[in-house]
Structure 1
Amino acid sequence: MTANKTFYNEKSVDDFIQEIPDTQKREDSIQLIQLMQSVSKEAPKMFGGSIIGFGQYYYKYPSGHEGYAPLIGFSPRKAAISLYVYTGLEEHRSFLEQLGRFKMGKACIYIKKLSDINTAYLIVLMQQTIQFITTKYTRIKD
Protein backbone atom coordinates (compact mmCIF):
# COMPACT_ATOMS: atom_id res chain seq x y z
CA MET A 1 0.00 0.00 0.00
CA THR A 2 1.32 3.44 -0.88
CA ALA A 3 1.57 6.04 1.84
CA ASN A 4 -0.02 9.42 1.50
CA LYS A 5 2.38 12.07 0.23
CA THR A 6 0.30 15.04 1.33
CA PHE A 7 0.15 16.20 4.94
CA TYR A 8 -0.46 19.35 6.91
CA ASN A 9 2.70 21.39 7.24
CA GLU A 10 3.94 24.61 8.82
CA LYS A 11 4.04 26.67 5.62
CA SER A 12 2.38 30.06 5.93
CA VAL A 13 -1.11 30.32 4.45
CA ASP A 14 -0.71 34.11 4.22
CA ASP A 15 2.56 33.80 2.30
CA PHE A 16 0.99 31.26 -0.04
CA ILE A 17 -1.97 33.57 -0.73
CA GLN A 18 0.26 36.59 -1.35
CA GLU A 19 2.22 34.58 -3.95
CA ILE A 20 -0.88 33.93 -6.09
CA PRO A 21 -0.20 35.96 -9.26
CA ASP A 22 -3.85 36.32 -10.32
CA THR A 23 -5.51 39.17 -8.37
CA GLN A 24 -9.01 37.68 -8.66
CA LYS A 25 -7.88 34.27 -7.38
CA ARG A 26 -5.99 35.94 -4.53
CA GLU A 27 -9.08 37.94 -3.49
CA ASP A 28 -11.35 34.90 -3.85
CA SER A 29 -8.92 32.87 -1.74
CA ILE A 30 -9.05 35.42 1.05
CA GLN A 31 -12.87 35.28 0.98
CA LEU A 32 -12.85 31.46 0.89
CA ILE A 33 -10.56 31.35 3.92
CA GLN A 34 -12.96 33.55 5.88
CA LEU A 35 -15.96 31.52 4.74
CA MET A 36 -14.46 28.09 5.39
CA GLN A 37 -13.01 29.12 8.74
CA SER A 38 -16.41 30.43 9.79
CA VAL A 39 -18.20 27.22 8.77
CA SER A 40 -15.61 24.73 10.02
CA LYS A 41 -14.55 26.64 13.18
CA GLU A 42 -11.01 25.57 12.23
CA ALA A 43 -7.95 27.63 11.37
CA PRO A 44 -6.59 27.45 7.81
CA LYS A 45 -3.45 25.34 7.35
CA MET A 46 -1.42 24.33 4.34
CA PHE A 47 -2.03 20.73 3.30
CA GLY A 48 0.78 19.84 0.94
CA GLY A 49 2.08 22.59 -1.29
CA SER A 50 -1.13 24.08 -2.67
CA ILE A 51 -4.20 23.07 -0.63
CA ILE A 52 -5.57 25.19 2.20
CA GLY A 53 -7.37 22.87 4.58
CA PHE A 54 -9.66 23.33 7.56
CA GLY A 55 -9.83 20.66 10.23
CA GLN A 56 -8.65 17.10 9.84
CA TYR A 57 -10.00 13.59 9.86
CA TYR A 58 -8.59 10.08 9.67
CA TYR A 59 -10.04 7.67 7.12
CA LYS A 60 -9.55 3.99 6.35
CA TYR A 61 -11.20 2.49 3.30
CA PRO A 62 -12.20 -1.19 2.94
CA SER A 63 -9.28 -1.51 0.48
CA GLY A 64 -6.92 -0.80 3.38
CA HIS A 65 -5.94 2.65 2.09
CA GLU A 66 -5.81 5.06 5.02
CA GLY A 67 -4.66 8.52 5.84
CA TYR A 68 -5.49 12.02 7.00
CA ALA A 69 -7.32 14.71 5.06
CA PRO A 70 -8.86 18.13 5.67
CA LEU A 71 -12.57 18.27 6.54
CA ILE A 72 -12.97 20.91 3.82
CA GLY A 73 -10.52 22.95 1.80
CA PHE A 74 -9.60 24.55 -1.48
CA SER A 75 -6.70 25.06 -3.85
CA PRO A 76 -6.30 28.15 -6.03
CA ARG A 77 -4.82 26.47 -9.09
CA LYS A 78 -3.93 28.18 -12.36
CA ALA A 79 -6.91 26.95 -14.37
CA ALA A 80 -9.52 27.07 -11.61
CA ILE A 81 -10.10 27.06 -7.87
CA SER A 82 -10.61 23.51 -6.63
CA LEU A 83 -13.14 23.28 -3.80
CA TYR A 84 -12.99 20.20 -1.56
CA VAL A 85 -16.46 20.60 -0.09
CA TYR A 86 -18.58 17.80 -1.53
CA THR A 87 -19.21 14.27 -0.29
CA GLY A 88 -20.50 12.82 -3.54
CA LEU A 89 -23.61 11.57 -1.75
CA GLU A 90 -26.76 11.49 -3.85
CA GLU A 91 -28.77 13.34 -1.19
CA HIS A 92 -26.38 16.29 -1.48
CA ARG A 93 -26.71 16.58 -5.28
CA SER A 94 -29.69 18.92 -5.00
CA PHE A 95 -27.41 21.59 -3.53
CA LEU A 96 -25.21 21.36 -6.63
CA GLU A 97 -28.16 22.24 -8.85
CA GLN A 98 -28.43 25.61 -7.07
CA LEU A 99 -24.69 26.26 -6.72
CA GLY A 100 -24.10 28.16 -9.95
CA ARG A 101 -21.40 27.83 -12.61
CA PHE A 102 -18.83 25.10 -11.92
CA LYS A 103 -17.33 21.90 -13.26
CA MET A 104 -17.33 18.66 -11.36
CA GLY A 105 -14.20 16.61 -10.80
CA LYS A 106 -13.87 13.21 -9.19
CA ALA A 107 -13.31 14.63 -5.72
CA CYS A 108 -13.80 18.35 -6.08
CA ILE A 109 -15.72 21.22 -7.60
CA TYR A 110 -13.89 23.58 -9.97
CA ILE A 111 -14.84 27.24 -10.18
CA LYS A 112 -13.30 30.07 -12.18
CA LYS A 113 -14.21 32.69 -9.59
CA LEU A 114 -16.18 32.86 -6.38
CA SER A 115 -18.81 35.19 -7.87
CA ASP A 116 -19.82 32.36 -10.26
CA ILE A 117 -21.44 30.44 -7.41
CA ASN A 118 -24.11 30.99 -4.79
CA THR A 119 -22.23 31.12 -1.48
CA ALA A 120 -25.38 30.26 0.51
CA TYR A 121 -25.45 26.85 -1.19
CA LEU A 122 -21.68 26.52 -0.80
CA ILE A 123 -22.12 27.00 2.95
CA VAL A 124 -24.78 24.27 3.05
CA LEU A 125 -22.50 21.92 1.07
CA MET A 126 -19.65 22.56 3.52
CA GLN A 127 -21.91 21.97 6.53
CA GLN A 128 -23.27 18.74 5.02
CA THR A 129 -19.76 17.55 4.16
CA ILE A 130 -18.45 18.20 7.67
CA GLN A 131 -21.47 16.46 9.17
CA PHE A 132 -21.02 13.42 6.91
CA ILE A 133 -17.27 13.16 7.53
CA THR A 134 -17.55 13.49 11.30
CA THR A 135 -20.25 10.81 11.35
CA LYS A 136 -18.38 8.33 9.14
CA TYR A 137 -14.74 8.96 10.07
CA THR A 138 -12.67 10.03 13.04
CA ARG A 139 -12.31 13.80 13.32
CA ILE A 140 -8.94 14.85 14.69
CA LYS A 141 -8.98 17.83 17.05
CA ASP A 142 -5.83 19.90 17.64
Structure 2
Amino acid sequence: MEPVIAPPGSSPVDELIASLETPAQRADTQTLVELFSDLSGQPAVLWSGRIIGFGEYHYRYESGHQGDSPALGFSPRKGKFALYGLLAEDGAESLLPALGKHRRGVSCLYVNRLADVDIATLGELARRGYAHTMKELHRP
Protein backbone atom coordinates (compact mmCIF):
# COMPACT_ATOMS: atom_id res chain seq x y z
CA MET A 1 0.00 0.00 0.00
CA GLU A 2 1.28 3.44 -0.84
CA PRO A 3 0.08 6.63 0.83
CA VAL A 4 -1.35 9.32 -1.43
CA ILE A 5 0.85 12.40 -1.38
CA ALA A 6 -1.26 15.57 -1.36
CA PRO A 7 -0.45 18.34 -3.77
CA PRO A 8 0.07 21.72 -2.07
CA GLY A 9 -3.21 23.31 -0.96
CA SER A 10 -5.31 20.14 -1.07
CA SER A 11 -6.03 17.17 1.15
CA PRO A 12 -7.02 13.77 -0.21
CA VAL A 13 -8.57 12.98 3.21
CA ASP A 14 -10.80 16.06 3.04
CA GLU A 15 -11.75 15.17 -0.54
CA LEU A 16 -12.69 11.64 0.54
CA ILE A 17 -14.80 12.96 3.42
CA ALA A 18 -16.59 15.41 1.10
CA SER A 19 -17.36 12.57 -1.34
CA LEU A 20 -19.22 10.44 1.25
CA GLU A 21 -22.93 10.02 0.62
CA THR A 22 -24.56 11.09 3.86
CA PRO A 23 -23.98 13.90 6.35
CA ALA A 24 -23.92 11.32 9.16
CA GLN A 25 -21.15 9.33 7.50
CA ARG A 26 -19.16 12.51 6.85
CA ALA A 27 -19.55 13.56 10.50
CA ASP A 28 -18.57 10.10 11.82
CA THR A 29 -15.55 10.06 9.51
CA GLN A 30 -14.43 13.49 10.73
CA THR A 31 -14.85 12.32 14.35
CA LEU A 32 -12.70 9.24 13.68
CA VAL A 33 -10.04 11.37 11.98
CA GLU A 34 -9.85 13.66 15.00
CA LEU A 35 -9.91 10.79 17.53
CA PHE A 36 -7.27 8.67 15.79
CA SER A 37 -5.05 11.67 15.09
CA ASP A 38 -5.22 12.76 18.74
CA LEU A 39 -4.48 9.24 20.01
CA SER A 40 -1.63 8.53 17.62
CA GLY A 41 -0.15 12.01 17.37
CA GLN A 42 -0.05 11.44 13.60
CA PRO A 43 -1.82 13.26 10.77
CA ALA A 44 -4.43 11.50 8.66
CA VAL A 45 -2.99 10.12 5.40
CA LEU A 46 -4.95 8.51 2.60
CA TRP A 47 -3.75 5.00 1.68
CA SER A 48 -4.92 3.11 -1.40
CA GLY A 49 -7.63 5.66 -2.10
CA ARG A 50 -10.08 4.65 0.67
CA ILE A 51 -8.14 3.93 3.88
CA ILE A 52 -7.45 6.82 6.23
CA GLY A 53 -4.32 5.87 8.16
CA PHE A 54 -2.26 7.21 11.05
CA GLY A 55 1.42 6.33 11.39
CA GLU A 56 2.93 3.45 9.50
CA TYR A 57 4.97 0.33 9.91
CA HIS A 58 6.90 -1.97 7.63
CA TYR A 59 5.97 -5.65 7.57
CA ARG A 60 7.83 -8.63 6.17
CA TYR A 61 6.43 -12.17 6.01
CA GLU A 62 8.51 -15.35 6.09
CA SER A 63 7.54 -15.80 2.43
CA GLY A 64 9.53 -12.67 1.63
CA HIS A 65 6.48 -10.52 0.89
CA GLN A 66 6.84 -7.11 2.49
CA GLY A 67 5.31 -3.68 2.46
CA ASP A 68 4.17 -0.68 4.44
CA SER A 69 0.82 -0.27 6.14
CA PRO A 70 -0.89 2.25 8.40
CA ALA A 71 -0.41 1.49 12.10
CA LEU A 72 -3.99 2.58 12.79
CA GLY A 73 -6.74 3.39 10.35
CA PHE A 74 -10.22 3.03 9.00
CA SER A 75 -12.14 2.92 5.79
CA PRO A 76 -15.55 4.56 5.44
CA ARG A 77 -17.53 2.06 3.41
CA LYS A 78 -21.12 2.10 2.28
CA GLY A 79 -23.17 1.58 5.45
CA LYS A 80 -20.24 0.76 7.76
CA PHE A 81 -16.70 1.53 8.85
CA ALA A 82 -13.85 -0.96 8.75
CA LEU A 83 -11.44 -0.17 11.60
CA TYR A 84 -7.84 -1.39 11.35
CA GLY A 85 -5.19 -1.83 14.03
CA LEU A 86 -7.56 -1.94 17.00
CA LEU A 87 -7.09 -5.66 17.62
CA ALA A 88 -3.26 -5.65 17.53
CA GLU A 89 -2.77 -5.64 21.30
CA ASP A 90 -3.34 -8.92 23.15
CA GLY A 91 -5.78 -7.38 25.66
CA ALA A 92 -8.13 -6.05 22.97
CA GLU A 93 -10.53 -8.98 23.28
CA SER A 94 -11.37 -8.03 26.87
CA LEU A 95 -12.64 -4.62 25.74
CA LEU A 96 -14.92 -5.82 22.94
CA PRO A 97 -17.98 -6.52 25.15
CA ALA A 98 -17.95 -2.87 26.28
CA LEU A 99 -17.58 -1.54 22.73
CA GLY A 100 -21.20 -1.90 21.71
CA LYS A 101 -22.64 -2.99 18.40
CA HIS A 102 -19.84 -4.25 16.16
CA ARG A 103 -18.80 -7.17 14.01
CA ARG A 104 -15.38 -8.69 14.00
CA GLY A 105 -13.46 -9.52 10.86
CA VAL A 106 -10.20 -11.44 10.59
CA SER A 107 -8.05 -8.40 11.33
CA CYS A 108 -10.51 -5.56 11.67
CA LEU A 109 -13.68 -4.41 13.38
CA TYR A 110 -16.80 -3.24 11.58
CA VAL A 111 -19.20 -0.68 13.01
CA ASN A 112 -22.19 0.77 11.22
CA ARG A 113 -22.05 4.18 12.90
CA LEU A 114 -20.36 5.75 15.89
CA ALA A 115 -23.68 6.14 17.74
CA ASP A 116 -23.69 2.32 18.05
CA VAL A 117 -20.43 2.16 20.02
CA ASP A 118 -18.90 3.52 23.20
CA ILE A 119 -16.40 6.14 22.02
CA ALA A 120 -14.23 5.82 25.13
CA THR A 121 -13.85 2.07 24.54
CA LEU A 122 -13.17 2.65 20.85
CA GLY A 123 -10.51 5.18 21.79
CA GLU A 124 -8.88 2.77 24.25
CA LEU A 125 -8.78 0.02 21.62
CA ALA A 126 -7.20 2.46 19.15
CA ARG A 127 -4.67 3.74 21.70
CA ARG A 128 -3.59 0.23 22.71
CA GLY A 129 -3.48 -1.06 19.15
CA TYR A 130 -1.41 1.85 17.91
CA ALA A 131 1.03 1.66 20.84
CA HIS A 132 1.45 -2.10 20.35
CA THR A 133 2.05 -1.78 16.62
CA MET A 134 4.59 0.99 17.00
CA LYS A 135 6.44 -0.80 19.80
CA GLU A 136 6.32 -4.39 18.57
CA LEU A 137 6.06 -4.15 14.78
CA HIS A 138 7.56 -0.83 13.74
CA ARG A 139 11.04 -1.34 12.41
CA PRO A 140 12.63 1.81 10.94
Tell me which moved more, 101-110 or 54-63. Answer: 54-63
Given candidates 4, 11, 25, the residue that maps to 1:9 is 4
Q: Distance in 1 between matches of 2:29 and 2:139?
A: 25
Q: What TM-score comes out, normalization by structure 1 length? A: 0.87
Aligned residues: 135
Cα deviation digits, residues 8-50 of structure 1 (max 9, x gap): 0125110110010122111100110010000000000100110
Q: Distance in 2 between matches of 1:66 and 1:29?
A: 29
Gaps of 5+ in 2: 7-11
Q: Which residue identity is paired with 1:30?
A: Q
Gaps of 5+ in 1: 1-5
Any conservation in 2 of the 1:55–1:71 contact (CA below 8 Å)? Answer: yes
1:95 matched to 2:90? The reply is no
Q: Which residue identity is paired with 2:5?
A: E
Partner of 1:117: 117
Q: Which residue identity is paired with 1:112?
A: N
Q: What TM-score comes out, normalization by structure 2 length? A: 0.89
Query: Which structure 2 residues correspond to residues 30-45 of structure 1 after superposition, within 5 A?
Result: 30-45=30-45
Any conservation in 2 of the 1:81–1:110 contact (CA below 8 Å)? Answer: yes
Any conservation in 1 of the 2:17–2:26 contact (CA below 8 Å)? Answer: yes
User: Percent of counterpart pairs with the same letter?
Assistant: 32
1:128 matched to 2:106? The reply is no
Please give the root-mean-square deviation of Cα atoms over the aligned residues, in Å: 1.5
- SS of 1:52's equivalent in the other structure is strand
